[in-house]
Amino acid sequence: MSPKLPEDFLRIPIAHRALHDIAAGRPENSLEAVKAAVDAGYGIEIDLQPSADGHPMVFHDYHLGRLTDQTGPVHLHDADTLGGMALSGSDLGDTISTLRKVLEIVAGKVPLLIEIKDQDGALGPDTGALERATARVLEEYDGPVAVMSFNPHAVAAFAEAAPDIPVGLVTDTFTTEEWGLVPPGRLTELIGIPDFDRVGASFISHRAEALGAANVARLKARGVPILTWTIRSPEEEARAREVADNITFEGYLPPIPR
């Protein structure tokens, strides 16, 4: 098993894609959203995609169209080019950021939960480059940080590159409607969370609507920390906390235990 998840990851609610609020001019995964989360005292979840020259970029989608006025895959552009692309809806001209810039802002003040997006395309074994690049950037970071992915192979690759950082699996019901590019047989394999021990995971982050699943209960009975995504109201939070140790949230401001 990887190192234990620091206690603050179980205590402080985690802002999904940072504390984004497009009405306030803070797009998801933007530096302004990161700053807002730090100022409010929330944990932060961010996503990573690779640039063409191998830098971990803080961006959720594989393609640029939803979040910028550009088109095409993120990974075809180098970091400098991506860093010049404005995020849609930013009041302060936020552009796509590198992981390194996020670390400079967070600076250990709040927990940072990093999701490495699948680069295989089918949640398979074609992984490693983004995971190793992320590990290099995190080498000298001194704050509470953990790394996770839907792809168990990505988790294993990162754990090999950075054995001192806690790793976990993002888990789901893996319906074909949402994972249409992944072979159905692979989705069926992943539903039972069979790779938890193999990859050395120390936590999971599970879809909120499926927290009652037997596979989650099995891990919880072992004392495995259960995080959940994505909570959007106090009512959803109350239901989720019947099972989950902590939440990843957006769209409202949950209380922070003191």
DSSP secondary structure string for all residues of 124-170 = SS---HHHHHHHHHHTT--S-EEEEES-HHHHHHHHHH-TTS-EEEE
Lookup result for tokens 């394999």: 189
What is the fold, at CATH topology level, of the domain defined by 8-249? Answer: TIM Barrel (3.20.20)
pLDDT at 56: 98
pLDDT at 1: 66
pLDDT at 96: 98
Q: Where are the domains of the chain?
A: 8-249
62-71 confidence digits (pLDDT tens): 999 999 999 9
- Which amino acid type is present at position 103? L
Lookup result for tokens 């302060």: 92
35-69 confidence digits (pLDDT tens): 999 999 999 999 999 999 999 999 999 999 999 99
What would the mean pLDDT of 75-92 be, rounded to a whole number?
Answer: 97
Beta bridge partners of 149: 169
Report which secondary-structure segment, H or E, holds 83. Answer: helix 79-83
Is the pLDDT reported for residue 167 higher than 70? yes
Nearest CA to 206 out of 192, 234, 233, 227 is that of 227
Dist. CA 87–CA 68, nearest whole Å:
5
198-255 confidence digits (pLDDT tens): 999 999 999 999 999 999 999 999 999 999 999 999 999 999 999 999 999 999 999 9
94-103 confidence digits (pLDDT tens): 999 999 999 9
- Which amino acid type is present at position 179? W
Nearest CA to 83 out of 94, 91, 72 is that of 94
Token pair for 232:
């959007």
pLDDT at 258: 82
Nearest CA to 81 out of 69, 95, 91 is that of 95
By the 8 A CB rule, do 165 and 3 touch?
Answer: yes
Q: How does residue 2 score in pLDDT terms, banded at 50, 70 and 90?
A: confident
Is the pLDDT reported for residue 163 higher than 90? yes
What would the mean pLDDT of 18-26 be, rounded to a whole number?
Answer: 97
Is the pLDDT reported for residue 84 higher than 70? yes
